Amino acid sequence: MEYETPLFFRVMKYASSVDRDVIDMVSGNPDWEPPQALRDGLSEYADLEPAAFQYPPSDGLLELRKEIAARRGVDVEQVVVTNGAGEANYLAMARALERDRGEDVILTDPVYPYYPGKTTMLGGTQRFVATDDEGQLDPADVRAAASEETAAIVVNSPNNPTGAVYSAETVRELVAIAEEYDALLISDEVYDNFDLSGEFASALSVDSNHRIVTNAFSKSLAITGFRVGYAIFPPELVENARSRHMLVNVAGSRPSQYAVLNALRETEPDYYERNRELLRERVDAFTDALEEAGAEYTTPKGAFYVMARFEGYPGTLENVFELIDEAGVAGMPGEAFGDSRTEWLRFALVTPRVEEAAERLATRFV
């Protein structure tokens, strides 16, 4: 079996190899501060006894699992702390496929590229359902694609790359479809703290034993390097996932989990609100400049990405490399996200230089 190396590695590598100033809008690494309590937790950790430097419980520090369970309104036994949302998605998809209820994994187009990658790695079959121009998913299209062969439906809201936020009604329907076909809805909610629309609905709001919710602190606490996420499983599905997590990882990172727990306990809501406000400002600055450059673009309702389309300039890897060389702006090729956005480029708003980036693009295209 051939595994595909995620394309963004190649873009990052190219951007760092060129001999010019490049504004990095490739990956979803926040450039803003984590909460102070995160730093405090980490400093405190350095002075703990040697016992704290040994394996944590495989499924995560109990206090952290309890904190997550209380916040999400689930039983602590349903929570497995993972190495980011990445591992949470892997465990969820593996769990869906090993139930032997079918091999199809329904994904959206455009798609976060790791989902089709994981589907193939786990021996599943990809089935794509197109979203509309705004990235909204019509549950009727998902129902039309579903069958007895469906093992999982994997969705992500707020969405990378489209910025769409699914309504409560959509989420309810998606859970209902999973129930109808004895499949699992896997709802990746890693950008839940970056809902700019106020319309976000978690799949946890629908009571069902046919949905798994995945999440992480990577984005909400601006710590993609810490690798702390979680998955919430229906009670009868959690055991195998816990074992798989243990067999693959032994355990997660104990200092990271400790610092996250401290941050969750001590951080006020205004930390999250400030970051949303920063993103709103960046969306406005970037899209205003794109408007002046005559580009077509998306206005995200959540997450931190804007897609842009420049006339006669498809979103290929070659064009992305050329923009790095000629404009000093690095984005992601639309072709990385499936067949439907090959004309588009995706830019992550994780730099204070978003306006300058759009101006550089304007200079290149006008």
Give residues in contact with ligand PLP (CB under 6 A).
28, 84-86, 112, 156, 160, 188, 190, 216, 218, 224, 229
Identity of the residue, 184 or 362, whose beta carbon is nearer to ligand PLP in the bound complex: 184
Q: Which of 42, 11, 2 is nearest to 336 (CA)?
A: 11
Query: Is the Cβ of residue 102 or residue 315 nearer to ligand PLP in the bound state?
Result: 315
Q: How far is the CB of 351 from ligand PLP (least distance, A)?
A: 15
Q: In angstroms, give the least distance from the CB of 82 to ligand PLP.
A: 8
Q: Which is nearer to ligand PLP, 107 or 295 (CB)?
A: 107
Considering beta carbons, is residue 213 or 327 the nearer one to ligand PLP?
Answer: 213
**Shortest distance, position 17 Cβ to ligand PLP, whole Å:** 23
Find, among 177, 187, 112, the residue nearest to 138 by Cα. 177
**Residue placing its CB nearer to ligand PLP in the complex, 153 or 293:** 153
| Least distance between ligand PLP and beta carbon 228 (Å) | 8
Question: Of 192 and 335, which CB lies nearer to ligand PLP in the complex structure?
Answer: 192
The nearest distance, CB 160 to ligand PLP, in angstroms, is 4
Burial readout 30-59 (b: 16 or more C-beta within 10 A, e: otherwise): beeebbebbeebbeebeeeeeeeeeebebb
Tell me how far, at minimum, the Cβ of 161 lies from ligand PLP, in Å: 8
Position with the least CB separation from ligand PLP: 84
Which residue lies nearer to ligand PLP by CB, 228 or 285?
228
From its phi and psi, is residue 84 left (phi > 0), alpha (psi between -120 and 50) or beta? Answer: left
Q: Nearest distance from residue 258's CB to ligand PLP, in Å? A: 17
Cβ closest to ligand PLP, residue 218 vs residue 262: 218
- The residue type found at 87 is E
In whole angstroms, the minimum distance from the beta carbon of 112 to ligand PLP comes to 4
